[in-house]
A and B are shown apart, each in its own frame.
Chain A
């Protein structure tokens, strides 16, 4: 039973394009949604996060769009760079509870120069 689902499993875009990574969840009590970025040979690192009281969160080229009614969110990466090539994990929890973070299975993003 996968409570947090991501799609696509892998994505390839050209440098300069916008990459869109999707995430959905099941538990309506989830109210905190971080995205983690993982490069090969490293641990995941927090990229950007959103709380359910907001429908959009922007940080430079990274933007989260959140739809509470549909239990969906997406990560948009504009002006994609080769250095953005990584695996991106959507996660969810209730009330910032790191011990209860549920991770999706990840989207492997490749940026072609």
Chain B
């Protein structure tokens, strides 16, 4: 099966903790992304990686950092979570003109 896989599905944590989300794609794509989807379902790009090179880095807080070991993996680390980080984090990869999304990781910060 070829797709975009994210773990965990859900994560509940407290303010100030560090969290890490994993993403793997088996589609053979060169570019991967992290999007944040807020409670109103608004989708905003956070990062994109092409062959391990960061090519888009929107103005996200510095506590967020993408981590990639190869072009099939792009993880997301949040160093010290804050309440406003509660959201669904969607990983995606792309071919020429299509984004393929994973099912997302829902983060709740208490």
B59-110 residues at the A interface, CB under 8 angstroms: 90, 92, 94, 96-104
Give A98 to B48 CA distance when docked, in angstroms: 9
**Contacting residues, chain B, for A46 (C-beta < 8 A):** 98-99
**Contacting residues, chain B, for A103 (C-beta < 8 A):** 42-44
B56 touches A89 (CB 8 A): no
Number of interface residues of B (CB under 8 A): 24
Interface membership of A60, Cβ < 8 A: no
Which of chain B's residues has its CB closest to A108's CB? B41
A105 touches B33 (CB 8 A): no
Which of these, A42, A87, A98, A99, contacts B97 with CB under 8 Å? Answer: A98
A106 touches B41 (CB 8 A): yes
Number of interface residues of A (CB under 8 A): 22
**Contacting residues, chain B, for A98 (C-beta < 8 A):** 31, 33, 48, 94, 97-99
A100 touches B56 (CB 8 A): yes
Q: Known contacts A43-B4, A99-B33, A99-B56; decide if A105 and B99 are in contact (CB<8 Å).
A: no
Which of these, A41, A49, A101, contacts B103 with CB under 8 Å? Answer: A41
- Provide a sorted-by-A list of 17 A–B residue pairs whose CB atoms are within 8 angstroms: A34-B98, A38-B41, A42-B104, A43-B4, A43-B90, A43-B92, A43-B102, A43-B103, A43-B104, A44-B101, A45-B100, A46-B98, A96-B96, A98-B33, A99-B33, A99-B45, A106-B41
